[in-house]
Structure formats: C-alpha cells, structure tokens
C-alpha cells in the first residue's frame, strides 16, 4: 500500500503507536516492540508486531520503518527530509511496477510536507546480510548486481523526466554543490592523498559540469543513482538487492554500472574483469528488452562508459560524517584507480564541446 497524505506523519520514535501502524497496515495491532534503531540522515526503526488476532496470513511480523526521526539532524541538515520523501515516492509510484530487480518489500509508504516514511520488511529476519565498511566482493556478486541494474534500465530505457515530470534530478545539483569547495576539501589534513591532477579543483569541476551536461541521450534510462557498497544487501540465497532509493533519477545507464563495480570490487578484480562485467550487463540489458549495444564496433559505448566513472567523484570529496573515514579511504583508492586507468578527466574534457 502507499499514500500521499496531508496528515501529520510521525516525526519522533514515540509517535509510532500500535494504532497508527495498524491503520497503515490495514490490521488491528495489539502491541509493538521497538527492537533496535539505526540513526542517520534517514533513520531505520525496527519493530516486532503482535496483532489482535492470530490469523495465519502474510502480515508482517518484523518491520523496518524508514524516515527522518532525529530533530537535531533535520535542524542541521533540512535537506534530509527531501531524501526521505524521495524514497517514499519510489515505493509509492515506482516500486509496484519494477520487474527483474530485488529490493525490500514495502507494506506502506507515504509522505507529507515534513516527512517521508516507508514501512518495509526487516531484512535481517529474512536471512539477509549486509556488506562491511571496506570489504570487496567477488566478480560473481557484481555480475548479479549488474543483472539487477539491467532489469531496471531495460524497463525504463529511453524514458526521461519529460515522461515522468515528478522524477526531477536531485542528484546532479547535490554532487555539484559538494564539489564546489574542491580545493579546500582535498587539502584538509587527514584526507586521502590524491594524485596531482585530481588536486586541481577548477579542472575537476569543469569535467564534472561537462559530464552532466554532455551525457549521451542514447544511454538514458531510470537509475537507482547510488549503487555503492553501503546501499546493497545479500539475500539468503546470495543474490544482491538494492537499498536506499532516495537518489533515483534519469541519466546515463553506465552511471549505475561503474559506480557499483568500483565500490564492490578490489582494484585488481575490477581491472581483470570489468569488460566481462560490462559485456554481461549489455547482454542482460538486451535480453530483458533494452537495445543491443556492441562495445567493439560502436565507439560511443566505450566513450560513455569511460566518462561515467566521473560519478565516483563523491569518494574524492566526501564530506566528513556522510560516510565513515574507513569507507571513504577504501573507495577513494578504488576511485582514483579508475580515474587513472580510464583517463576519465581527459576523456571528458577532450570531447568536442556541443554546438551552442
């Protein structure tokens, strides 16, 4: 179920009551137990539910309620509300139609002017596990990950914000904003060391602007948008599922692919297997109804692929507190290796500028 509402949605943990939850789930709830919480830009509150009757049905017994429930966080970073609203929008308007992709089951989602909430299954009770901060994973795992992404991309291939006006691009402006103080950020004591060519904030910001402005529309589709290691989980059967749908937008398909690949693989495995992974993505995309691309005979494929590594830029300038220092250090190292290997900045800036 889903809803867009003018009602006052819970803003604090204490606002979540058996009555409110029962109304959203459509069943009378006798009691709820708050078993654990994960606080952050979006908080995850975990509950065990006891219903008024013992009906043997598929009603959820263990749930995760995701939203913004930390007043201090909202006061300091009011934009976090828009992320919660965005994810509620995904579960309300997009998730019911998505095929060939794994993500948490939602029982209800809704938003108001000050909140966005999604009531989902507690994945831990389904035997799911989550990556650690700095781990790298097998090529097999990433092959499954790009299969999931190909499923989403094929379904929305060639569509744009013109077709879905409410899916505005909240991702590019956020990245450009965070990259504005580049020179200051990368020289902050304790930051990961970057090669000299990535210390030039003016040039790197020019490349970022051109990457966003000059994406090839041949490869446009709906993206998850934030496919790094912290936004995936592993099902009990070992398959990948994708979490955190607050950054979905239309863009180049390779954004999702290279961002996922860079974060999940060791540098050595990425270098050894990335063409195998890219081919598997392209084959799956075509098999699931998308276009057929030939990276060997269509030079635009590899140009767009190499340019898309620019999306890893967040790990070069990630603000303190947004991710752990350990994760930033590990993924920054993996990102720099992709920039070196694919000459990402040079590829972007070396392309002819579009005619005015």
- For residue 107, give the H/E element and its range: strand 106-112
The pLDDT assigned to 306 comes to 98
Residue 187, classed as helix, strand or coil, is: coil
Cα angle 199, 353, 220 (rounded to 5 degrees) comes to: 90
Give, for all 356 residues of the chain, the pLDDT tens digit.
Answer: 445 556 789 999 999 999 999 999 999 999 999 999 988 878 999 999 999 987 767 889 999 999 999 888 788 778 888 989 999 999 999 999 999 999 999 999 999 999 999 999 999 999 999 998 889 999 999 999 999 999 999 999 999 999 999 999 989 999 999 999 999 999 999 999 999 999 999 999 999 999 999 999 999 999 999 999 999 999 999 999 999 999 999 999 999 999 999 999 999 999 999 999 999 999 999 999 999 999 999 999 999 999 999 999 999 999 877 788 999 999 999 999 999 999 999 999 999 988 76
Q: For domain 3-122, which architecture applies?
A: 2-Layer Sandwich (3.30)
Lookup result for tokens 């974060």? 263
| Count of all residues that appear for the chain in the document | 356
Could you tell me which of 214, 116, 181, 121 has the C-alpha nearest to residue 316? 181
**Tokens representing residue 165 in the block:** 């006006």
Domain with CATH 3.30.200 in the chain: 3-122
Helix axes 325-342, 253-264, angle to 10 degrees: 120
The Cα 281–Cα 277 span in angstroms is 6
Cα angle 259, 91, 125 (rounded to 5 degrees) comes to: 85
For 256-323, the three-class secondary structure string (H helix, E strand, C coil) is HHHHHHHHHCCHHHHHHHHHHHHHHHHHHHHHCCCCCCCCCCCHHHHHHHHHHHHHHHHHHHCCECCE
Could you tell me which of 197, 323, 306 has the C-alpha nearest to residue 257? 306
**Tokens representing residue 28 in the block:** 């009378």
**Tokens representing residue 45 in the block:** 């509150």
The Cα 20–Cα 27 span in angstroms is 10
The pLDDT assigned to 354 comes to 81
DSSP 92: I
**Tokens representing residue 216 in the block:** 């090839």
The Cα 115–Cα 112 span in angstroms is 5
Phi then psi for 209, rounded to 5 degrees? Answer: -60, -40
Domain with CATH 3.90.1200 in the chain: 139-350
The Cα 298–Cα 57 span in angstroms is 52
The pLDDT assigned to 6 comes to 61
The pLDDT assigned to 2 comes to 44
The Cα 300–Cα 270 span in angstroms is 21
Cα angle 287, 288, 290 (rounded to 5 degrees) comes to: 90
The β-bridge relationship of strands 106-112 and 3-4 is parallel
Q: Which fold has domain 139-350?
A: Aminoglycoside 3'-phosphotransferase; Chain: A, domain 2 (3.90.1200)
The pLDDT assigned to 56 comes to 60
């Amino acid at each position: 179920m889903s809803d867009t509402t003018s009602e006052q949605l819970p803003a604090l943990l204490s606002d979540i009551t058996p009555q409110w939850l029962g109304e959203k789930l459509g069943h009378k709830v006798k009691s709820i137990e708050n078993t654990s919480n994960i606080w952050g830009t979006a908080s995850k509150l975990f509950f065990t539910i006891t219903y008024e009757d013992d009906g043997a049905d598929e009603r959820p017994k263990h749930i995760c309620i995701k939203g913004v429930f930390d007043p201090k966080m909202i006061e300091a970073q009011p934009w976090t509300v828009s992320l919660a609203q965005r994810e509620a929008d995904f579960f309300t308007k997009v998730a019911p139609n998505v095929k060939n992709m794994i993500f948490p089951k939602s029982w209800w989602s809704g938003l108001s002017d000050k909140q966005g909430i999604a009531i989902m299954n507690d994945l831990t009770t389904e035997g799911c596990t989550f990556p650690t901060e700095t781990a790298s994973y097998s090529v097999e795992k990433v092959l499954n990950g790009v299969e999931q992404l190909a499923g989403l991309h094929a379904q929305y291939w060639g569509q744009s914000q013109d077709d879905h006006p409410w899916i505005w691009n909240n991702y590019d402006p956020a990245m450009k904003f965070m990259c504005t103080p580049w020179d200051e950020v990368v020289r902050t004591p304790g930051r990961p060391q970057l090669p000299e060519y990535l210390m030039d904030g003016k040039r790197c910001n020019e490349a970022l602007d051109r990457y966003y402005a000059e994406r090839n529309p041949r490869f446009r589709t709906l993206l998850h948008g934030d496919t790094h290691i912290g936004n995936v989980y592993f099902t009990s059967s070992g398959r990948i599922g994708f979490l955190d749908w607050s950054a979905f937008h239309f863009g180049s398909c390779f954004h999702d692919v290279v961002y996922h690949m860079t974060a999940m693989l060791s540098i050595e495995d990425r270098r050894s297997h990335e063409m195998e992974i890219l081919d598997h993505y392209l084959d799956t995309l075509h098999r699931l109804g998308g276009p057929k691309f030939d990276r060997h005979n269509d030079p635009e494929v590899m140009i767009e692929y190499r340019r898309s590594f620019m999306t890893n830029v967040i790990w070069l300038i990630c603000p303190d507190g947004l991710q752990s220092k350990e994760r930033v250090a590990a993924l920054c190292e993996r990102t720099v290796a992709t920039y070196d290997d694919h000459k990402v900045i040079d590829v972007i800036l070396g392309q002819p500028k579009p005619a005015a």
